[in-house]
Chains A and B, each alone.
Chain A
């Protein structure tokens, strides 16, 4: 009985922390990803080489592209998240040293115009 009450209390605390962690109103998918981050990433430490991390990427994919396509896109990222990604030339490293892989668009365009302004 005590174990059940304790477990319920812990779950309630985790769920409320999930709601509190998100600034915007959370949907079921958002809550799921937040729970994952609280339970696994924060406890085990960050292991993802990408920025945004796979869980943030998945969350953005599901909320932006819908549950069907979003899950596919998130799973594609999940299969790419391995140590070989660090050696790939096709990825761009961000300032933090993590691989920059946003959901939409990955080409970082350098603008030259400011360098040549004559004033």
Chain B
């Protein structure tokens, strides 16, 4: 009788078995993993704070499944409720990653900074610090971002080499070649296609020049022939082409600047991916 009671108590005290859920999670089967983690939490009477790793992974599964609001709610609850600094820091990282993905970069930088302050483990702290620095870089604050990454590099640890590389890459952002959209637009207004050419899009510029010239010539010819209907039609078409050419010049500059930024951020991505896939 006593033995049976002891066995029952032991079964009840046993930590829930999450091996199958972890297996699914590891394989990237997030929908099924979420179901398994929910089952585990259900068996634990919904004690999300009592099973923080399970809750964090469940939130991550929701995040991967596109249930962003549910994931954010869970991360927020865990960040407020968990007392272990490394676990609450992990929840803050989760919140920051969602903010990053939803384009709220400045807020994401704040949350990564909060996670950096929260973490006790040096590797986790440096990872959060690097992300805070990269968010600043994404906001165009290249030099403060580079300084921050350089500081993380000087601490030593597993992030040291990657942070140093990131620091030099991010510092180069200050000298990225750029084109002024307003100037390119004005340039295209003066000479159709010239704004596009300034951004290196020579064929687009030549086509814009030729089309505007041709429509303009036809418009003037129709005016000379006193053909009112054709003049109105060609006048509208000519103005539309001309306006489109000015818009295109400005947009070409935006596209040029964006491409240079993207190239730099792709280098950043490769370094971060390399670091995240390397063993600690």
Contact = CB atoms under 8 A, between A and B. Distances in A.
Given A79-B248, A116-B127, A107 B262 contact: yes
Interface stretch (A2-10, A30-38, A80-88): A80-88
Given A76-B244, A116-B272, A109 B103 contact: yes
Contacts of A15: none
Contacts of B130: 116
Contact of A75 (B64, B134, B138, B244): B244
Interface residues of B, number: 57
B244 A79 contact: yes
Given A84-B203, A111-B100, A112-B131, A118 B124 contact: yes
15 contacts: A71-B244, A76-B245, A79-B204, A79-B244, A80-B248, A88-B201, A90-B200, A90-B201, A91-B259, A107-B262, A110-B266, A111-B101, A113-B93, A115-B272, A118-B86
B107 interface: no
A92 interface: yes
Residue of A72, A80, A115, A116 most packed against chain B (CB within 10 A)? A116
Interface stretch (B4-12, B53-61, B143-151, B219-227): B53-61
Contact of B207 (A74, A79, A110, A113): A79
Contacts of B248: 76, 79-80
B154 interface: no
A106 interface: yes
Nearest to B193: A79
Contacts of B112: 113
Given A76-B245, A112-B269, A117 B199 contact: no
Report the 10 A-B pairs with minimum CB-CB distance, sorted nearest first. Answer: A113-B97, A84-B203, A76-B244, A76-B248, A75-B244, A72-B243, A90-B259, A72-B244, A115-B276, A119-B56
Interface size class of A (residues with CB under 8 A): 20 to 34
Contact of B245 (A79, A108, A115): A79
A99 to B, nearest CB: 11
Contacts of A109: 103, 138, 265
A73 interface: yes
Contacts of A82: 203-204, 207
Given A79-B211, A79-B245, A115-B276, A90 B199 contact: yes
A84 B241 CA distance: 20
A110 to B, nearest CB: 5
A95 interface: no
Nearest to B98: A113
A23 interface: no
A89 interface: yes
Contacts of B98: 113
Interface string B183-211: 00000000000000001111110011001
Nearest to A107: B258
Given A90-B259, A113-B108, A119-B60, A76 B251 contact: yes
A89 to B, nearest CB: 6
B261 A107 contact: yes
Nearest to B101: A111
B241 A75 contact: yes
Given A80-B204, A82-B204, A108-B262, A118 B97 contact: no
A46 interface: no
A114 interface: yes
Nearest to B239: A72
